[in-house]
Structure 1
C-alpha cells in the first residue's frame, strides 16, 4: 500500500524542481526503481523539503554554499549539477568563483582548482547551447 507523500516531500519536490529543473527531476524519477526509491524520497524530504525549504537563506545563497561544500568534498558530479542549477537560483558566475576561492583557502587549492575546471566546462556547455538557440 502506497502512502500519500508527506507535506515535507511535497515541499521538497517543489523546491527540487525550482532549483534543478523539471527535466532533471523527471529524469531522476524515471531512473528510480525499487532499489533507490527510498533514497530519492529521503533526499527530497531531507535535503529539499527540510534544508532547502528553510526561509533564512535564499536559493541563491544555498546554491553558493552547496557548491562550495561539494567542491571541498570532491563531489564532481554534484558540483556540475549545482553549477547548472545556478541558472534557476540566481547565483552568478562571479558568486561561484568567489565560493571556489573560499574553497581554495579553507579546503585546499587542488579541490578548488578541480571545481573551477568543472564550472568552466559547465559554463562552456551553457554558452554553446545559448549560441545554438532553442532546440
Structure 2
C-alpha cells in the first residue's frame, strides 16, 4: 500500500470517528507541520485505527483508557467525541473513568471526569447515573 493510499484510508477512518471540525483541526496540524500531519493520519488512522481486529468503538475504549492512565487530558476531548460518534454511550464512558480510578488513581480519573463533563455539556448529554 502506498503512503497516499494509507493517508486516504486514514482520512476515511477519521471522518467516521470525528466531526468535520475535528477533521479540519487535524488537517490544520498538517498545514503547520506537513510531515507530522501526514504521519498522524496515515499511521494513526490509516494503519492503526483501520485494522480489522477491533471495531472503532473498541479502539476508543482502549484509547480512552490509555489516555486516562497517562493523565493525557489534552487529547481526551477529541477521543470522547469520537467515542460517542462511534457508539459508546455516556454511561459506558463514565464507567470506564470509574474503572480507571482503580488502576490509575483518583487524581487521573478526576482530571478525566472534568473533561468528560465538559464534553457532555457541549453535547447537551445528561447521562443516566442511577
TM-score by length of 1: 0.82
Return the index of the structure with the highest Cα Rg. 1
Aligned-pair RMSD on alpha carbons? 1.8
Partner residue in 1 for 2:17: 19
Distance 1:102 1:123 in 2: 19
After superposition, what is the alpha-carbon deviation per residue over 1:97-132, rounded to whole angstroms, capped at 9, x for unaligned?
22212211111111011101110111011108xxxx
Out of 39, 43, 68, the residue aligned to residue 40 of structure 2 is 43
Structure 2: any 5+ residue segments left out of the alignment?
Answer: 126-130
* TM superposition outliers: structure 1 runs of 4+ over 6 Å: none
Partner residue in 1 for 2:128: none
Cα 1:6–1:31 change in 2 (3 A) is closer
Partner residue in 2 for 1:126: 123
> 1:40: how far off?
0.8
How many residue pairs get aligned? The number is 124
Distance 2:62 2:47 in 1: 16
Distance 2:26 2:35 in 1: 13
